[in-house]
Amino acid sequence: MDIKEQLETIESEARKLFDSVKDREALEKLRVKYLGKKGKIADIFSQMGKVDSDERPVIGRKTNELKNLIAELHQEKKSELEELLKARKMKREEIDITLPGIKPEMGYTHPLSVIINEVKQLFIGLGFSIAEGPEIESEYYNFEALNIPEHHPARDLQDTLYIDDQFLLRTHTSPVQIRTMEDKNPPIRIIAPGRVYRSDELDASHSPVFHQIEGLVVDKDISFSDLKGTIQVFVEEMYGADREIRFRPSYFPFTEPSAEVDVSCIVCEGKGCSLCSGTGWLEVMGSGMVHPNVLEMSGLDSRVYSGFAFGMGWDRIAMLKYGIDDIRVLFENDLRFLRQF
Ligand code: PHE
């Protein structure tokens, strides 16, 4: 094949190949095949020595023209492929701004949190602050310093989850009373919300872990009427202003006198129903005047200071307020339940 024929073959072959190439790698290979150092065009130039000298300028020009043509074919294809790629990417990223947005699902406040937020708000308004204590307690804070004698049934293995012979999971939030009195001088006004543990079987009304909210006020001249007034405000805020309140004499080793606080049933309003077991009353907390022994053991002079304390079931408040009849739902984190709050 003479050079002219070679040029023609190269041109028609190149046109076909560049036209049909589908991706950038293949295109680059084609560029090398024709325009590279060892490519077809370079090959033609290397044959120029064999060409008659009078034909050489014409062949030289033709070869240059072909080289430019191929460079153009390459450039065109390159832009074409780039456009295609861009279009594909656009398609992938296409956003229809007229579509309604997808609302991200927000978390829900757990009913126990709803309750404690309200309770905190209320007591902070009354000048209380929030106290905390450890869930793993010593016998001393959980029992002894609370005037609970060694052989008291509450200390029994039946009720208490012991860790060893000295430490246990606190059975109530009352040890926070002791820790607070040891730590701070009166006037003391705290509430202490937290988890407590008892070795109960799990059922609709019992859980081995549940929650209490403790209250403690210690100062000079604190009397039972201060206790009554505080409870009154609390009950009216939490259970409604038309609730009746009843203080029923009771016994706790760490308070004297002690009283159980009942409120008129939120369902039947005193007539008697299944929620209040026909009594018309719901038991909502234990309370009393801090026992002088407890003040003394915490380092406070019981001739100077007096105080009152109360302790209530935090889960129970949530159950009463939201009509929950199974305590287990408070611990299961089932979204179908939590979504309602
Ligand atoms: N700690 C008591 C209980 O768990 C409740 C209580 C607290 C009673 C404070 C009186 C004063 O039952």
pLDDT for residue 92: 84
Of 84, 82, 57, 76, nearest to 14 (Cα)? 76
CA of residue 146 to ligand 1 center, whole Å: 10
Q: Report the nearest-CA residue for atom 4 of ligand 1.
A: 172
| 3-state secondary structure at position 220 | coil
Rounded CA-CA distance 235/281 in Å is: 13
**Whether residue 310 has its Cβ less than 6 Å from ligand 1:** yes
pLDDT for residue 93: 83
**Whether residue 194 has its Cβ less than 6 Å from ligand 1:** no
Of 162, 218, 171, nearest to 194 (Cα)? 171
CA of residue 286 to ligand 1 center, whole Å: 5
pLDDT for residue 106: 87
pLDDT digits (tens, 9 = 90+) for 40-95: 999 999 998 888 888 889 899 999 999 999 999 999 999 999 999 999 888 888 88
Please report the atom of ligand 1 found closest to the CA of residue 312.
5
Name the token pair of 303.
């001739």
Rounded CA-CA distance 211/62 in Å is: 95
CA of residue 137 to ligand 1 center, whole Å: 16
Out of 254, 283, 291, 317, give the residue to mutate to test ligand 1, the one with the largest number of ligand atoms within 8 Å of its CB. Answer: 254
**Whether residue 180 has its Cβ less than 6 Å from ligand 1:** no
**Whether residue 175 has its Cβ less than 6 Å from ligand 1:** no
For 116, counting Cβ atoms within 10 Å of its Cβ (0-12 exposed, 13-18 middle, 19+ buried), the class is: buried
Out of 170, 174, 261, 317, give the residue to mutate to test ligand 1, the one with the largest number of ligand atoms within 8 Å of its CB. Answer: 174
pLDDT for residue 96: 83
User: Is-above-0.85 flag for pTM?
Assistant: no
Rounded CA-CA distance 18/26 in Å is: 9
Q: b/e per residue, 200-229, with b = 16+ CB within 10 A? A: eeeeeeebebbbbbbbbbbeeebeeebbbe
**Whether residue 288 has its Cβ less than 6 Å from ligand 1:** yes
Q: b/e per residue, 274-311, with b = 16+ CB within 10 A? A: ebbeeebbbbbbbbbbbbbebbebbebebeebbbbbbb
Residues of the chain with pLDDT under 50: none
**Whether residue 215 has its Cβ less than 6 Å from ligand 1:** no
Q: Report the nearest-CA residue for atom 10 of ligand 1.
A: 287
pLDDT for residue 152: 84
Rounded CA-CA distance 341/123 in Å is: 23
pLDDT for residue 125: 97
**Whether residue 63 has its Cβ less than 6 Å from ligand 1:** no
Q: Report the nearest-CA residue for atom 8 of ligand 1.
A: 286
**Whether residue 307 has its Cβ less than 6 Å from ligand 1:** no
pLDDT for residue 49: 87
CA of residue 311 to ligand 1 center, whole Å: 4
